[in-house]
Structure 1
């Protein structure tokens, strides 16, 4: 299910219950299209995510931590100017559309009460967040500026008059008194056709909700069935339904959706679980900036170098042939005449089988023999050099491959440490301006809890991995890592975990690795005291011995469950 109008109705109901009359205490814009506004209401703090992301636009209370940028954006500064300390009067949905209006009151610099509106338009790639004076309808700022060239119907620029998006010629199912559904039910007895008709008639119904409504009307013949269905959105029972790695979120269980169901206390918790991987990955790629570009380029260079080294090694395997030819020429030097271009002589290394030897007619027989000895020595030296370079290049590729995996698995707040590591290792130029800024606090490994309550820590970058394995963990704790696959260090904070806890921790190790989309992933586990870091090794690299191995399948649903326990 998408964030349709009916789900928006349920979300507005939840937000009003928790936030009404609350005061804004913090405003941040951690990501390009998303704002976090913290409300203080009923003696609790509620971080509310307002997202205008083209793929993940939504409004919700979130518990997912975020990285606050060192320098606030212009839009964040404008929100702070007008809304910091403002009182929330209420949250309204425009009809059953995906437009949520937060109305505020605040005293301005002159002491007069000013009415302000923050409109969140959830419309795919046209999603936006608009701050305006609720009395004059003049736009103060928007998270995305839209000029006349981009939209002829309305301007979304500071100083322009706010015009709501064009309304659809559809009925609001929450206020419909025409009972248009009854005629549709009698005209279209087929459930799927009825769903299509309901989608055409009513506003804010996506495909899943339309189909569920059609099924509900068929199953319940009471005249109140239509109203009963939409009353469920005012008393939601949030659920995520998963089938074959595909998940859907709904305000209450849908009989028409098959799969494993996972219930949540609030709609915000539901969306956190649903978007934790999808939205976080997008945020990471967005914030990673040139990190991905630099690592991919270095990986490409080293893989090209590896290919050339292997070719050189293959040609260097002819070294013994050069030596044999040089020795045979020396033995039969009296049979070699100046001016010859080749000669066939018995090879006493191969049962005196004849061997053909090419010669230069410009040099003497003795010089021809010496030429082969020089080729032999050069090839022999090349084998030693190429072998060393092959080892270094393999290590470089493994390191960069591991960094790439860390970027893909990281939370946005983990990226600063990855960037610092790449600067320290010489892959990135040091940004002197950022170096002078106050260094951000070290990020911490993510914490999970096994079914029996045992704490499990998962490092998300080399800095976290080294700190977790070599400093934080006890020597008797259990260390896990995917076998010969880039991934996170995982620590079970228990010397004798149960088999179930071991399996759950191994599943975490498989999920937070390059093998996340694979099956039957081998995961090694061993006591921390058997894990060591070689002298001069790159960050995150360790060696270990005496390990045992588990074969597990990465399971996103299990990961989310362990995250919430």
Structure 2
């Protein structure tokens, strides 16, 4: 992510324009997150500050959950900052350090200047309240001693000096970089040189300078010619002249069509399809971090659920393997009936304590056979033992065959859940899958599991070019609803052949189905299936009246008859 000095400068510029001379109304804290309500220019602003996970600052519209008993740091901020005027919001040396200067009044009515320092430094981020006149730390959100950091301490009473963590040059105040390049370590590559020499420069900025100058940033400093250094300098000064003059153009950055990053200037290295311009850096940051939080939460839940499902699938496969071995033994049961019959016909040949019996096998052309005996049993008891074993294996074969089919159905069901996870777009949809698996007994029920809103109708809806309606289920609940509730008997039902996939319904609107509508529905069934990356995918389709619930009674599983098959290819055109 590109929350570097350029983005912070853009953010500080926007914050200043919105809250300068405003008054702090109320301050809330939840763990490492702060929300400052501000009354400025006839409006109420809500400045959100977070140093947890992804450190960030922006104006927010979201509801902030705060504890009933405010933390000590929150109470301290309220004491020094609430009902007081904001004098200025500034940035230190183009670094990721924001200072909110406040005209504070104590209990005796005396005025002084207090400053809230926000350091957006990755895992070293912090929010620090200082006496701006004395440059003394009053307190901080995270207290840091030398046991936690060898760089500096952040404790009440100590002097606050941003130079402790920000020692590079301000790129907006540099008039030439030629001398800096010539005097630098000659073995540094260009990217490392820029990152180490200047404050607030990120890999994203390095990439843009590299693109505009056409100089490879993997090269070492000593390999540069004078003309290349001059070219680099021109590009560098041009970019930071615009930054210094607040000529910002915030953009969303897309990768594979997904909003994945942001920046404060128009990056020329990106194509028009990879970016889109927005007006406000603050709203851009809020949208980005909310979508990132959603993606991260979704990814975490996905991984947890997939791990649990795969564990269940492995257990089922092992169980089926053992059952198959037992079934093979059971299917070889006829020899035990033969043993019993031959023993019954040859009681007189069995001597007391014999461990085997050699007789002619009238079931196999009178060839001699040796039958194992239990020396503790007489002839009739040995025969009875083999008859019982034969009968037991006969029953076992039927039971094992049924259990193997049930196990295979369970695996098909769980594989469909794995596919449903990939289709889920929100944490709530993943939570629905958790609830389904709890109900089916595959995972343990969560304590205090609140019932979620039923989202069975959040299926995908598409209208073809020729006006036919198509509905696609994203999970088993939606698949069941579409197939068994919404679809009418003369609607067409589509499903990828012999693989997990969504149920796709092509609605009958009293017209003949067009070839285009059939192909579109089939392609959608292929796209929303586990075979989506394959070529020439087979898709079955039939009237909904021919689709029945599967005997295994698992959500989303069905059987169908009287179907046709169509082959489609969904490769990107």
TM-score by length of structure 1 reads 0.67
Choose which of 472, 484, 509 in structure 1 pairs with 2:528. Answer: 509
Cα distance between partner residues in 2 of 1:205 and 1:525: 56
2:408 is paired with a residue whose SS is helix
Local SS of the residue matching 1:264:
strand
**Greater mean deviation of Cα atoms: 347-356 or 388-397:** 347-356
Contact 2:483 2:544 in 1 (8 A): no
Which secondary structure does the structure 1 equivalent of 2:277 belong to?
coil
1:6 maps to 6
CA distance 1:117–1:446, change in 2 (3 Å): farther
The answer to whether the 8 Å contact 1:93/1:100 transfers is yes
* Cα distance in 1, alignment partners of residues 154 and 474 from structure 2: 39
SS at match of 2:336: helix
Equivalent residues in 2 for 1:456-467 (5 A)? 461-467=475-481
The alpha carbon displacement at 1:348 in A equals 4.1
8 Å Cα contact 2:90/2:100 also seen in 1 = yes
Correspondence 1:380 to 2:376: no
Q: Is this contact kept in 2: 1:139–1:162, CA < 8 A?
A: no
The answer to whether structure 1 residue 98 and structure 2 residue 114 are counterparts is no
1:300-349 CA distances to partner (integer Å, 9 max, x unpaired)? 54444333323322332321222232233334545444443223444444
Q: Please say if residues 342 and 359 of structure 2, whose CA atoms lie closer than 8 Å, have aligned partners that are also in contact.
A: yes
230, 235, 241: which is aligned to 2:248? 235
| Aligned position for 2:553 | 537
| Match for residue 412 of structure 1 among 427, 443, 463 | 427
Distance 1:338 1:536, change over 3 A: closer
- The equivalences for 1:343-492 within 5 A come to 343-403=357-417, 406=420, 409=424, 411-427=426-442, 433-434=448-449, 439-443=451-455, 445=458, 461-467=475-481, 470-471=484-485, 484-486=498-500
SS at match of 2:374: coil
Q: Which residue of 2 aligns with 1:225?
A: 235
* RMSD between aligned residues: 6.1
Partner SS for 2:376: coil
Alpha-carbon contact 2:522-2:539 (below 8 Å) kept: no
User: Could you tell me how far 1:373 is from its partner in structure 2?
Assistant: 1.6
Task: Indicate whether 1:283 and 2:302 are aligned.
Answer: no
Partner secondary structure for residue 356 of structure 1? strand
Instruction: Give the whole-Å Cα distance in 2 for the aligned partners of 1:377 and 1:195.
Output: 79
1:120 Cα offset (Å) = 5.8
Distance 1:431 1:116, change over 3 A: farther
CA distance in structure 2 between the partners assigned to 1:339 and 1:405 by the alignment: 62
- Is 1:264 the equivalent of 2:264? no
| Structure 1: tracts of 5 or more residues without a match | 559-565
Matches within 5 A, 1:86-125: 93-99=91-97, 121-124=119-122
- Give 1:379 shift: 1.2
Residues 182, 217 of structure 1: alpha-carbon distance in 2 compared, 3 angstrom cutoff: farther
- SS of residue paired to 1:395: helix
Q: Which moved more, 1:358-367 or 1:12-21?
A: 12-21
What is aligned with 1:561?
Answer: none
Alpha-carbon separation, structure 1, partners of 2:17 and 2:463: 33
Shift of 1:381: 1.4
Q: Please report the TM-score for the alignment, with normalisation by the length of structure 2.
A: 0.66
Of residues 397-406 and 453-462 in structure 1, the stretch that sits farther from structure 2 once superposed is: 453-462
Tell me which structure has the larger Cα radius of gyration: 2
**What is the alpha-carbon distance in structure 2 between the residues aligned to residue 357 and residue 253 of structure 1?**
88
- Asked if 1:340 is matched to 2:344, the reply is no
Match of residue 200 from structure 2: 204
User: Is the 1:450–1:505 Cα contact (8 Å) retained in structure 2?
Assistant: no
Report Cα offsets for 1:476-533 as digits up to 9, x if no partner.
88766665555655678897666896588457625xx6x78x6559474757836554
Number of residue equivalences? 536
